[in-house]
Amino acid sequence: MKNKLPNIDTESIKQIDKDELFKVNQSNHAPKILLMYGSLRERSFSRYATEEAERLLQFFGAETKIFDPIDLPQPDTVDESHEKVQELRNLVTWSEGMVWCSPERHGSMTSIMKSQIDWIPLSIGSVRPTQGKTLAVMQVNGGSQSFNTVNQLRILGRWMRLLTIPNQSSVPKAWLEFDESGRMKPSSLYDRIADVMEELIKFTLLTRDNKEYMVNRYSERKETLEAFKKRIGTRSTS
């Protein structure tokens, strides 16, 4: 029983080769991080928290860009050629990691946040713009602390095949945590955001050169091989 082979397609299987993980040269450029927030309010605490996260990421050596969701249409109201949709998709493709920060509204993320994520496709031609990239999730609350939104963002991150880091940030009573200029006051809540951004940088550095190795799946290799055999078979009979 011990020596029996598993019931798999041996043409599609690939032995796990640890040398494959370390064969690439490590990139030296600054990690590229895209930040997204989920509110259009003038005094937006999710935007303020995102801007604090950006300052920390830049301090840790990252190159950052924040996507402004204003004028992004609702999904299915326009086609993907819309300039804001293209701006968002180009930023996602550019990035090596992302930060998603949403207010909690009615126990959930906002529609502004969800619309941005819904505009990001799982694939653009043969390119999967999110697969294997890192993600950090954050939320701000008007009332007491909650983790509903970050939990939902984690589910979406998994669906988008992102590597969501373990740490996360939830800021309760956000209106008390930011001053009039939009800067976050020193506190343990600010320290948590610093922890999350530091962890995001570390995970991005660890995985960005190896993401293709990390997401190389037996089932997808099998599907590709079967599709190839089918095409070859069709050609040989025509």
Burial class of residue 35, CB neighbours in 10 A (0-12, 13-18, 19+): buried
CA dist 125 and 151 (Å) reads 30
**What's the whole-number mean pLDDT along residues 98-105?**
97
Q: Is the pLDDT of residue 28 over 60?
A: yes
Q: Which CATH superfamily is domain 30-237 in?
A: Flavodoxin domain (3.40.50.360)
Closest CA to 130 of 100, 153, 152, 160: 160
**What's the whole-number mean pLDDT along residues 96-117?**
96
Give the CA dihedral 226, 232, 233, 236, nearest 10 degrees. -170
Per-residue b or e along 99-109, where b marks 16 or more CB atoms closer than 10 Å to that residue's CB: bbbbbbbeeeb
**What's the whole-number mean pLDDT along residues 198-207?**
95
Q: Which of 24-28, 56-60, 156-160, 202-206 has the lowest mean pLDDT?
A: 24-28
Closest CA to 201 of 154, 155, 167, 169: 167
Residue type, 102: S
Closest CA to 50 of 123, 113, 120: 113
Q: Which of 8-17, 134-143, 182-191, 224-233 has the lowest mean pLDDT?
A: 8-17
